[in-house]
Structure 1
Amino acid sequence: MCSSSWKTMAVALLLIELWFTIESSLAHPDKIVKLPGQPPRLSFQQFSGYVTVDYKKHKALFYYFVEAETDPASKPLVLWLNGGPGCSSLGVGAFSENGPFRPNGEFLVKNDYSWNREANMLYLETPIGVGFSYSTNTSSYEAVDDEITARDNLVFLQNWYNKFPNYRHRDLYITGESYAGHYIPQLAKLMVEFNKKQNLFNLKGIALGNPVLEFATDFNSRAEYFWSHGLISDSTYNMFTSVCNYSRYVSEYYRDSVSPSCSKVMSQVSRETSKFVDKYDVTLDVCISSVLSQSMAINPQQVSERVDVCVEDKIVNYLNRKDVQKALHARLVGVRLWTVCSNILDYQLLNLEMPTISIVGSLIKSGIPVLVYR
């Protein structure tokens, strides 16, 4: 081969190397190259990382974002929030319910019913102290309430758009479950107010799954649910509705003042329902979904024993692997382990008693469609 051919080849190789260097530098810093154990040949991109919501207190919220399987540019953006308060949208929503994968031992199994088949899904671990979200100022975990959470979530979205400007003004939906019945309406309200000054959020609707919207109504459905499924006797049902209903018990419990009458009723309810039934879906097997953890966060437990939670165990094991955390660009700050529901967060649980149903009504009046599903 002549020298000119060698020179041509050398230049070509240099150009290829330069192209790969430029391509690499242009890659999004939060892009996930590959999650350990994930199925081969994915048709969508994944991203995860941190968004700072308070620079003074070094508060950073962790997110996991999966683009739609096909034509993501034409699909809406959906923000998913789990409840608790204090439970992980990454562990519960993304890896247990509607995300693209579910952990199974060393591998991730494809979820055929993943919502990213139709939407770009954004999962947020909120508030600070949940999952991989953290603050270097531990006072940020104290006396956290709905107002602080809503404000941080608003700032998160504003700053997330800076990371992903192509999603700014994209059709946006917010959905979640349980205590997200507080998180979502209050966030949506702030977004509507923000848009009056600067039109940033193209909020098209919200969906609330089994939400806490009105404390007394929602919590007191428990007696009817247990009785109608044959879990408690007629006499216990009558006690549960007349002597001490569930909202009264929860209210007393979080004020450290459980009355003898409420203690007696709840002990009887616990004996009859037993620890071998999932109180949130009585048709499930004993090995139940990790949705139990977020329910436990706002529901006082009369029985100390816990049923083996199979799905939750797999998620906890997977997200505590160092190679998984590295792939997710995640880190543990101030805690040894990732947990489904935070054990360092001091949430003001009496916020439960503040109804958000009126906020839902105001959102509907402002033109935001709302779906409530059970």
Structure 2
Amino acid sequence: MAGLQRFSLVLLVLVCAIGAAGREEEEDRVVGLPGQPAAGFKHYAGYVEVRPGAGKALFYWFFEADEAPEKKPLLLWLNGGPGCSSVAYGAAQELGPFLVYSRGLKLNPYAWNKAANLLFLEAPVGVGYSYTNRTADFKELGDQVAAEDSHAFLLNWFKKYPRFKARPFYIAGESYAGHYVPQLANLIYERNRRGSRDSYINFKGFMIGNAVINDETDIQGMVDYAWSHAIISDKVYHAFRRTCVGISGNGSSAACEAAMKAFMRGYDGIDIYSIYSPLCLSASHSAMPVKTNKPHHFWRNKPISSRAGYDPCAEDYVEKYFNRDDVQRALHANVTRLRYAYSSCSNVIDQWKDSADTVLPIIRKLMNAGLRVWIYSGDTDGRVPVTSTRYSINKMELSLKEDWRAWFHKKQVAGWVVEYKEGLTFATVRGAGHQVPAFAPDRSLSLLSHFLAGDRLPSSSPR
């Protein structure tokens, strides 16, 4: 009888916990989002505290899979910067189910929730709607804090959504998420090895696109790309190579800074993130200067022009939309009434304490641990170009499994791909800029679907 009583007590506690989690989910359910088109899936948004008493909360937007969410994996998407929003870019301009355009929202037929349950996170604090009650926290931000806070967020998010805790979990991202994603992946991997069952995350792998992963080769590839695409002169090319590529330190010498300024002038009048796309000519869209004092500052600043895909003014629409009071109410956002307006890239993060020169050792370590790792590159991006990624991968001196070949989608060459014995797949996406899902939505969804399934990209056009 005593054993039966104990069993009943445990069962009661479990039922209560599940019920509490269900109520928390329902509280974050998004209904009445202004301009939302009809959709058959549920979505949720709100805050998750990073740690009790820390005064930090990160904002998320979560979309259940379009079909059979109970059978699909969970994917976390991160944008980079540092300081740029995964909601403003990933969700609203690239791979989310609802894309923001000039008149509101439209349904994305190639949203990544066709293949997975899709979670967008605004991290670290100061990005988008995410906040901290301590202004001193802004001075502590860097790669390590971003990884720690994102990991803490995930553990608490799974408490709110326990039905997803056992799902295969993947991470994807682009640009400076080339730091965020491997570093968070490494933290999950290490904590899984040492932690308890309660803190275990069923982590399977990650995918990063147009990703900052190794400073020296990233910069070398950027200048080589610009020269090979006739954007800069021989004189500028050789000056940049001589003063900024392969040097020790942070590349802040006067000669390097002058060469960087000359290099960036080559991009005047075009979009460095998509060299063949038009610029936004809206009067409200302002160009942002590029700082050059440290390598990671070179990556983190806002673009010279919009990074949007089909509409170069999309960033303007996004910021206007997410600053609306009715939108914030529907998303359970800005509950503390932030003292600054919502922006695609943070205006309050002006320091970044630590930025690794390279994440290649982490990528190599996680491949050796058996995690699935894919890297992809839109080949019309001048900021983190395909040349940079190829140089960086070559630094790892991997062994070929399958040599360079075309991959196909809808009977057309979608890009090129190479596979390595150590477990890495590297794919290009033909004609896509920095934000691959915005420029090549159908091919990016195909890429994701093959990654999640662990399948080779198609080697020929289907008959």
Could you say whether these structures have the same fold, taking a TM-score greater than 0.5 normalized by the shorter chain as the test?
yes
Structure-1 residue corresponding to 2:342: 338
Query: 2:360 aligned with 1:357, yes or no?
Result: yes
Deviations 1:240-267 (A, max 9, x none): 212333x7699244xxxx41x2243233
Cα deviation, residue 347, structure 1: 3.6
| 2:352 alignment partner AA | Q
Deviates most, 78-87 or 307-316:
307-316
Amino acid at match of 1:287: C
> 1:274 deviation in Å?
3.9
Where do 5+ consecutive residues of structure 2 fail to align?
Answer: 1-21, 307-311, 378-463
SS of structure 1 residue aligned to 2:121: strand
2:155 aligned residue: 158
Alignment of 1:299-318 (within 5 A): 299-300=297-298, 306-307=304-305, 310-318=313-321
Are 2:115 and 1:118 aligned?
yes
Aligned residue for 1:230, secondary structure, equals coil
For 2:50, the aligned partner's letter is V
Letter in 2 for 1:195: N
Amino acid at match of 1:29: E
Question: 1:185–1:267: structure 2 CA closer, same or farther, 3 Å change rule?
Answer: closer
Q: Which amino acid aligns with 1:327?
A: A
CA contact (8 A) 1:136 1:333 kept: no
> What is the rounded CA distance, in whole Å, between the counterparts of 2:340 and 2:204 in structure 1?
39
| Corresponding residue number in structure 1 for 2:196 | 198
CA distance in 1, matches of 2:222, 2:207: 22
Greater relative CO (CA pairs within 8 A, separation 6+): 1
Which one of 284, 287, 294 corresponds to residue 280 of structure 2?
287
Question: Which structure's CA Rg is the greater one?
Answer: 1
Q: Find the counterpart in structure 2 of residue 184 from structure 1.
A: 181
What displacement does 1:56 show? 2.3
Seen in structure 2, the aligned counterparts of structure 1 residues 345 and 249 have a Cα distance that, compared at 3 Å, is: farther
1:223 corresponding residue in structure 2: 223
Query: Is 1:88 aligned to residue 85 of structure 2?
Result: yes
CA contact 2:43–2:61 (8 Å) conserved in 1: yes
Q: Give the structure 2 partner of residue 243 of structure 1.
A: 243
- How far the C-alpha of 1:205 sits from its partner, in A, is 1.1
Q: Does 1:65 align with 2:59?
A: no
Residue 232 of structure 2 aligns with an amino acid whose one-letter code is I
Alpha-carbon contact 1:57-1:140 (below 8 Å) kept: no
DSSP-derived class of the 2:321 partner: helix
User: Are the aligned partners of 2:172 and 2:208 in contact in 1 as well (CA < 8 Å)?
Assistant: yes
| Structure 1 residue 299 displacement after superposition | 5.0
Q: How far has the Cα of 1:198 moved from its partner? A: 2.2
Match of 1:33? 31
Alpha-carbon separation, structure 1, partners of 2:86 and 2:323: 16
% of aligned pairs identical? 39
Measure the CA separation in 2 of the matches of 1:305 and 1:143. 24
Q: Which residue of 1 aligns with 2:324?
A: 321
| Residue deviations 1:254-298 (CA, integer Å, cap 9, x gap) | xxxx41x22432333233x1421111221111139x9x99x9894
Q: Helix, strand or coil: the match of 1:174?
A: strand
- Structure 2 CA distance for aligned equivalents of residues 117 and 78 of structure 1: 11
CA distance in 2, matches of 1:92, 1:154: 21
Q: 1:286 to 1:305 in 2, by over 3 A?
A: same
Question: How well do the aligned residues superpose, as a CA RMSD in angstroms?
Answer: 2.7
- How far apart, in 1, do the equivalents of 2:303 and 2:92 lie? 25
Residues 26 and 201 of structure 1, relative CA distance in 2, 3 Å threshold:
closer
1:266 aligns with 2:260: yes
Per the TM alignment, residue 164 of structure 1 is displaced from its structure 2 partner at its CA by: 0.4
Residue 111 of structure 1 deviates from its aligned partner by 1.1
CA distance in 1, matches of 2:303, 2:369: 46
* Distance in 1, Cα, partners of 2:248 & 2:35: 45
After superposition, the Cα gap between the structure-2 partners of 1:270 and 1:114, relative to the gap in structure 1 and judged at 3 Å, is: same
Partner of 1:17: none
Structure 1 residue aligned with 2:71: 74
Give the counterpart letter for 1:339 in structure 2. Answer: S
TM-score by length of 1: 0.83
Q: What SS is found at the alignment partner of 2:375?
A: strand
CA distance in 1, matches of 2:276, 2:247: 27
> Using a 3 Å threshold, how does the CA distance of structure 1 residues 249 and 233 change in structure 2: closer, same or farther?
farther
5+ unaligned residues in a row in structure 1: which ranges?
1-23
Give the Cα separation in 2 of the matches to 1:228 and 1:101: 37
